[in-house]
Amino acid sequence: MTMERTFSIIKPDATKRNITGKVVSMLEDGGLRVVAQKRIRMTKEQAEEFYGIHRDKPFFGGLVEFMISEPVIVQVLEGENAVERNREIMGATNPDNAVAGTIRKELALSIGENTVHGSDSVENAKTEISFFFSDMEIVG
Ligand code: ATP
Ligand code: MG
């Protein structure tokens, strides 16, 4: 068990439906602590760079448009095995495949509008955290 940090986004479908508190509660109930958080409107350039790994996928254009359609909440979560733990609490990318009780099963609308993002490795978490936060903004 190691103390880790991961990067999380509460996506536009959640800010639009005014359910960001529910999402944070599920993360906190799952054992993670919010150590940095801000509500932003992502620019198109930010969204394209952030999801750059998916640039060649057919859903890329729609994904970028969705991420800039409403504000998002970007946050840093801390806890034991935070990267993996967050992915467990989030559930599978497609809510139809997600386990009951996970954020995506309970709250997501579709594979595209799936309520949350979470880093998929410790290395990517570091990159993604520094994409949106300076060290001074993270208060553990
Ligand atoms: P995220 O990176 O957002 O945490 P993930 O790691 O579970 O999600 P990825 O494979 O990295 O899933 O896909 C990134 C995002 O792209 C997904 O969360 C989803 O919003 C969108 N996406 C992925 N596959 C599809 C698809 N087939 N159709 C529409 N959108 C998709
Ligand atoms: Mg991913």
Ligand 1-lining residues (CB < 6 angstroms): 54, 59, 63, 93, 111-112, 114, 117-118, 120
pTM exceeds cut of 0.75: yes
Nearest ligand by distance to the CA of 60: 1
- pLDDT at position 1 is 65
Question: Which ligand is closest to the CA of 72, given by its number?
Answer: 1
User: Cβ–Cβ contacts within 10 Å for residue 95, how many?
Assistant: 20
How far apart CA 124 and CA 81 sit, in angstroms, is 14
> Tokens 């809510």 belong to which residue?
95
CA 87–ligand 2 middle distance (angstroms): 10
Positions marked catalytic: 117
Angle of the 122-132 helix axis to the 82-90 helix axis, nearest 10: 80
Q: Is 89 exposed, middle or buried (0-12, 13-18, 19+ CB in 10 A)?
A: buried
Which residue of 114, 124, 128 sits with most ligand 1 atoms within 8 Å of its CB, as the best mutation to test the pocket? 114
Q: Are 74 and 138 in contact (CB under 8 A)?
A: no
Per-residue pLDDT in tens (0 to 9) along the chain, 140 residues? 679 999 999 999 999 999 999 999 999 999 999 999 999 999 999 999 999 999 999 999 999 999 999 999 999 999 999 999 999 999 999 999 999 999 999 999 999 999 999 999 999 999 999 999 999 999 98
Q: Whose CA is nearest to atom 31 of ligand 1?
A: 112
